[in-house]
Amino acid sequence: MRNAALAAKLRPRAAGRRLTRPERAELWLGALAVGLLALIAGMLVFVFRQAWPSFAHNGLSWFLPGGNANTQLADVYHSPADPAHYVYTLRAWPILYGTLLSTGLAVLFALPFSLLCALFMVEFAPPGIARLMTPTVRFLAAVPSVVYGLIGILVLAPWINDHLVSASFKLDVKPIVPIGGGGLLLATLILTVMIVPIMIAINADALRSVPRSWLEGSAALGVNRWRTWWKIGVRTARPAIAAGVVLATARALGEAIMLAMVSGSFIFAPNPLDGLNMLLEPIQPLAATIVVGAEGLSVKPYGQTLYAFAAVLLVSSMFLSIAGWAARQPMRRHGVR
């Protein structure tokens, strides 16, 4: 048998030679995997090619503030049919800013909250409560985003509108921006609720896999349970926690429907000068902008503009994947994982 294998290796591959069955299996499986890869690569190329005109026409100012993005998008949508006169002018800063703001704030709130919840779950909750926490987290992670959006738009947005928005503020800004209940605050709040379970799950898993001997070593030195978990547990789990942050950020960035429902759906850059009222101002993050504009995809320049948003999202999610990988590296120094 070995001779036969050797002979097969030595024989030059004849073009029409029949493949043996194992070889065929490998070939088929490999072809499928490579086909998948080709599809993904094709998708990347396609998205970036479609997105190119929008970037090319605006240059770097695509990413900068200037003018009203709502009217700019409307102009793009209504551009003349003649390809020579397509309108592409767009300053997408308010969209990017809204995305950064909602995602960043949500992750900022979710990180300490999820870490505390994970610690509670793993160590500090009495056994009865701890047993209930896992299904709770699973439940929150499983609720579809459209349900979160529904609760946001039907329950929370009216409540915010009635209780938090002052009439004078509404009147003041009325010429510039409509204030309903939906806006930065609501978007951030629901995003937080959506990403917290992911982060809790990852954090709790990481905390559980901290070697017991380290925790016992710390306890044996007379360090109390809180410090032991904080200094040894959380410290050891840091890379996984960072990876969880990255995953949650990617999830928040890509969330479209829920944000289209509760973010106010008006392209606006919340103004820090408005103080806390800034939280009530509407935003329209990238993914939500795509959903809201999808009907206009058949208008070529508009479609290409949407692809530009998609390209930004794809690039960010790829960077986040790399960041997630990098986040898992540092503990190698200490020989962990």
In whole angstroms, give the CA distance from residue 69 to residue 95.
8
For residue 207, which amino acid is it?
L
Query: CB of residue 273 vs another protein: minimum separation in angstroms?
Result: 29
Q: Is 37 in the site for another protein (CB under 8 A)?
A: yes
In whole angstroms, give the CA distance from residue 256 to residue 114.
23
**Which one of the spans 54-62, 92-100, 135-143, 267-275 is the region binding another protein (CB under 8 A)?**
135-143
Query: CB of residue 272 vs another protein: minimum separation in angstroms?
Result: 27
Please report, as residue ranges, which positions from 168 to 207 form the binding site for another protein (by CB under 8 A).
Answer: 193, 196, 198, 200-202, 204-205
Q: Is 95 in the site for another protein (CB under 8 A)?
A: no
Query: CB of residue 208 vs another protein: minimum separation in angstroms?
Result: 8
Q: Is 133 in the site for another protein (CB under 8 A)?
A: yes
Q: Is 307 in the site for another protein (CB under 8 A)?
A: yes
Please report, as residue ranges, which positions from 272 to 291 form the binding site for another protein (by CB under 8 A).
Answer: 287, 290-291
In whole angstroms, give the CA distance from residue 17 to residue 172.
80
Please report, as residue ranges, which positions from 243 to 272 form the binding site for another protein (by CB under 8 A).
Answer: 247, 250, 253-257, 260-261, 265
In whole angstroms, give the CA distance from residue 210 to residue 235.
9
In whole angstroms, give the CA distance from residue 205 to residue 275.
39
Contact 180, 282 (CB under 8 A): yes
Residues with Cβ within 8 Å of residue 87, at least 6 apart in sequence? 75, 76, 78, 79, 80, 301
Query: CB of residue 258 vs another protein: minimum separation in angstroms?
Result: 8
Could you list the beta-strand ranges (E) of 134-201: none
Query: CB of residue 144 vs another protein: minimum separation in angstroms?
Result: 3
Q: Is 34 in the site for another protein (CB under 8 A)?
A: yes
Query: CB of residue 217 vs another protein: minimum separation in angstroms?
Result: 4
For 273-296, b/e burial (b = at least 16 CB within 10 A) is: eeeebbbbbbbbbbbbbbbbbeeb
For residue 316, which amino acid is it?
S
Q: Record the tokens describing residue 250, joined without a space.
A: 């990617």
* Site residue total, another protein (CB under 8 A): 111
Query: CB of residue 275 vs another protein: minimum separation in angstroms?
Result: 26
Partnered with residue 264 across adjacent β-strands are 283
Candidates 100, 150, 164, 173: give the one binding another protein (CB under 8 A): 150
Candidates 171, 318, 326, 329: give the one binding another protein (CB under 8 A): 318
Contact 63, 278 (CB under 8 A): no
Q: Is 315 in the site for another protein (CB under 8 A)?
A: no
Q: Record the tokens describing residue 293, joined without a space.
A: 């504009």
Helix (H, G, I), strand (E, B) or coil at 127: helix
Q: Is 49 in the site for another protein (CB under 8 A)?
A: no
